[in-house]
Chains A and B, each alone.
Chain A
Amino acid sequence: MQSVNTLLKKVVRSSVFPFTAQHGMKKDFFPLGRTLSLSFFMKQDDSCSPSEKIDLDGWKKVMKSGLQEVNETVSEHKELSSLARAREILEMWRLAGRSVPENITEEQLKAFIECPSKSAQKKYLKFLYLKELYKKNDRRKMIEKRERRLEEQEQDSKPDGTRRNSFIYFQNNSMDKAYNWRVAQSMIFGQSLVFDMSYEKDMSIREVTNTVRQIVLSESINRKSMDPFHIHFCNLKEDSLYQKEFIKHYREAWDRLLVTATDQCYTEVFPKDKLIYLTADSPKVMKTFDHDKIYIIGSMVDKSIKTGVSLARAKRLGLETAALPLEKYLLWNSGAKNLTLDQMMHILLTLKDTGDWRKALEFVPKRKYISFVNKPVHELKKTLNLINTLKLGKRQEEIQKQFAKSYSK
């Protein structure tokens, strides 16, 4: 048995393709080969170590063989443009399992090269990677949906003719007509709401895109509401990044949009004493929603920390400012007090319709606050102090009890 094994080993070693050789040999010449060479237990009984049994460097041969042709083409690729080289680096990163998109356009590649630092590059790639992933998932879902619909249609088509109904189906089209009618009315009689589009220079390109997306959302929320605002885009310059992004979103509908877009400042359009600038930095807290005032929302997404930019604008123009009474109604947990534009739109619309702060502030993201507060401001201050003492870690249990008592209801 021993000799058979060593013979087998020799044959295997000398062969260029050890695995096929081993396989072939076994089958053809040694009917007992299977039990001899492959039994795990027997190998361990053998005096020689198992590593001799398995050709450990076999993978190297595999990797090196059959790639000779590739090797020749490699040398031709010596001189590459920076773009092509970046593309190759990306491909290698993808192979190494980093978050890198599979396909990348020339433009994106240029943006990648122009990133100022390695971490910026990494971030940008991750952004593209996730975007690609979402897109892929969406496409997959769409296909699944289509298939399901086709199946359903097939089933439906058999019992035909029974689905006659005297109701007219509301088409999207007619809904749109109804909405537009309402917005058109509000453009004549409705309350104005201003989006201040003068923050382009304070934002990165990504932030501007996000801003425009939020405004588009806000506009659709407004359009579908019972009593819409008359939306003004003030300080919107021709050929600005905002404008370009808007057109990207709305395409030809941009010119038919029922909003007022102007490059004038709101101070030129409206009387100054009617304007209130909404900003989270404002020292004044809004008490009630005033139907005679014109509220201004700064169209800005502020991912880096730039406090007081919109407050500075209001100060410069000498306008009244206001902040939402978030602390008064909500026991704040974490996150910045600035809300997204569509959340602001939801809140303002609800206030306009009902005047109910509780209902309006439902639109503040749940993760940002612990609960609604039933008590007046000074009580809340007490809790905040309590939390602060809690953080200091003194007499914790006692304070916790107190805390539970004052907030049990």
Chain B
Amino acid sequence: IQPPEKPLQSEEWNSLRESFSSPEIFEEVMLNSMVKCNSPVDVAKSLLTHVAKSHGDIAYSLLIKYLALCVQQGKTSEILDVYDIMKIRFKILESGAYNLLIRGLSNSDQWRMALTLLEEIKKIMIPSRTSYELCIKAASRHQEMNLAFELYHEMLDKNLAPTLDVMQAFFDFSRGMKGAELQKELFGILFYLRDNQIYPHKTFMQSIKLWFESIPGENWRGHQTNIKDSGKCPVCNHQLEDSSLTEEEYNNLRERIIRDVIHGTDTFRKTSPQEFEAFQTFVENRLPFDIVIDGLNVSHMQLRQTQCENLFNAVNCLAKGNARLLVLGRKHMLTNSSNWRKDLMKEMQDKADFFFAENISEDDTFLLYATLRSGKHCKFVTRDFLRDHKACLSDSGTRHLFRKWQRGHQIAFYSSAEGKHINFLMFLPLFIQQPALRYDCVVQTTGDTWHIPYKNIFEEKYSYQIPRKWLCIQQK
């Protein structure tokens, strides 16, 4: 329904109400559409007056909707009035009202009131992330950085993940300010990005750059750049961090993979104890491998070719240069069929080691184990993103380790003509190898340089893709 443009008298509201199909929810629907149409507050007021006259009371849900309208239009004094009324009328308020109040007040000159409201919420529940962020923004807008950071840390302590937006606000409002403490806090945010493998977007990147360049007396300069495959920054010639894990991280990851992914709650779910033991002895006797191949995954690369031929091509392609290969497969690959030819299989088995798992076992887990057991130099080949295995890991720290290791060690195969021109599939496929990255794609520093990967806002970014663009900041 269309809300009226001017305040109405009670009688007029009554007639409107009667013409409405379900009069019992008339006021709610009307206020909702007022919020949607951004009607003048006076109209809403006249409706509330009408309700108050006829019922002697106004329901909480209506008050909240009126509050939403006031917040939307930034009517601070009205917001305060509504708050007063609510406080008199109700013992406590619920989260929705508090969120609205904080949103309304944090943008006004009454922003300190928002902070007291935040304290009030804490007494009854954990405040929402938005409430915190609104307060933080209000505080930093008024240059109260200490207060803002206090709230920020409090928020992190409560396991609320901050949005990029609020982090950007810190950089925006600290521009040109000096202070060792402040600098430490902002570096702390950059380390938070690093630890959680978060990539800032372009405008956030600009804020970081401007902040660095604005620090008085420190002479930072920022440049946008692309990092070469070698991992060298073209601007400052600095070599980026290696993608390999430390010895401790590596061992930790390997143990966690065995415990959480392979065994999990029940070893029988993915394999069986006998089979896993057999595989372990198989691997131990032939260590170390250079490349471990997920046979079935690779065999599905080209639909126009049989699975056997696909695998054959891949093995031939990778066997150059005396690399020690391990191909993982399932037992059904050994039965002679149209898809799996015995002669080709035989030829491949001369070039690489093969392990065939039971048909109902998961070969991916073997892939992970064999690669991790072979050592840091070993890579693996599959197009699978291994998300389900990552999900088996129980804590986010290990998941990040897994991602990092995966980025450095996974080789994905794509046939050159895939998807685009069906005709080209007739030709012999040329494999394009997506190489494992040699450098680690996270925010990193050496003290006098910072390298920050960022993403374009408009560019689609999947979780497995990593940004190719970097911000290089160095101190002259």
Are A and B subunits of one complex?
yes
A interface, CB within 8 angstroms of B: 19, 38, 40, 50-51, 53-60, 62-64, 66-67, 70-71, 74, 77, 85, 88-89, 92-93, 95-98, 118, 202, 283, 307-309, 311-313, 315-316
What are the residues of chain B within 8 A of A202 when measuring CB–CB?
Answer: 265
Residue of A74, A96, A97 ringed by the most chain B CB atoms within 10 A: A96
Interface pair B64/A96, CB less than 8 Å apart: yes
Is B218 interfacial (CB 8 A cutoff)? no
- Main secondary structure, interface of B, reads helix
Known: A57-B45, A89-B92, A92-B93. A63 touches B53 (CB 8 A): no
* CA–CA, A251 and B95, complex, Å: 42
Interface pair A71/B49, CB less than 8 Å apart: no
B108 to chain A minimum Cβ distance, whole angstroms, is: 19
Interface pair A63/B46, CB less than 8 Å apart: no
Interface pair B268/A313, CB less than 8 Å apart: yes
Query: Who on chain A is nearest to B12 by CB?
Result: A40
Given contacts A50-B7, A63-B89, A312-B269, 13 further A-B contacts (CB under 8 A): A50-B6, A56-B49, A63-B57, A63-B85, A63-B88, A66-B56, A70-B88, A74-B88, A85-B92, A92-B92, A96-B97, A202-B265, A315-B268
Q: CB < 8 Å: which of A50, A55, A70 contacts B49?
A: A55
B166 to chain A minimum Cβ distance, whole angstroms, is: 19
Known: A63-B52, A283-B360. A71 touches B88 (CB 8 A): yes
Interface pair B88/A64, CB less than 8 Å apart: yes
What are the residues of chain A within 8 A of B6 when measuring CB–CB?
Answer: 50-51
Q: CB < 8 Å: which of A60, A67, A85, A312 contacts B268?
A: A312
Is B426 interfacial (CB 8 A cutoff)? no
B194 to chain A minimum Cβ distance, whole angstroms, is: 26
Interface pair B268/A89, CB less than 8 Å apart: no
Is B210 interfacial (CB 8 A cutoff)? no
Interface pair B60/A77, CB less than 8 Å apart: no
* CA–CA, A64 and B57, complex, Å: 10
Is B81 interfacial (CB 8 A cutoff)? yes
Interface pair B89/A77, CB less than 8 Å apart: no
Interface flags, B83-110, vs A, CB<8A=1, else 0: 0110011111111110000000000000
Is B124 interfacial (CB 8 A cutoff)? yes
* CA–CA, A77 and B272, complex, Å: 60
Query: Who on chain A is nearest to B422 by CB?
Result: A394
Interface flags, B7-46, vs A, CB<8A=1, else 0: 1111110000000000000001000000000000010011
* CA–CA, A119 and B252, complex, Å: 32
* CA–CA, A54 and B57, complex, Å: 18
Interface pair A311/B360, CB less than 8 Å apart: yes
A-B contact list, 22 entries, CB within 8 Å: A40-B12, A51-B46, A54-B7, A56-B7, A56-B46, A57-B45, A59-B48, A60-B81, A63-B52, A64-B84, A67-B89, A70-B89, A89-B94, A92-B90, A92-B93, A92-B94, A93-B96, A96-B94, A96-B96, A309-B269, A315-B268, A315-B272
* CA–CA, A269 and B272, complex, Å: 25
What are the residues of chain B within 8 A of A313 when measuring CB–CB?
Answer: 268
B425 to chain A minimum Cβ distance, whole angstroms, is: 13
What are the residues of chain A within 8 A of B49 when measuring CB–CB?
Answer: 54-59
What are the residues of chain B within 8 A of A118 when measuring CB–CB?
Answer: 126
* CA–CA, A53 and B51, complex, Å: 17
What are the residues of chain B within 8 A of A50 when measuring CB–CB?
Answer: 6-7
Is B359 interfacial (CB 8 A cutoff)? yes
What are the residues of chain B within 8 A of A77 when measuring CB–CB?
Answer: 91
What are the residues of chain A within 8 A of B96 when measuring CB–CB?
Answer: 93, 96, 98
Interface flags, B170-201, vs A, CB<8A=1, else 0: 00000000000000000000000000000000
What are the residues of chain A within 8 A of B95 when measuring CB–CB?
Answer: 93
Is B317 interfacial (CB 8 A cutoff)? no
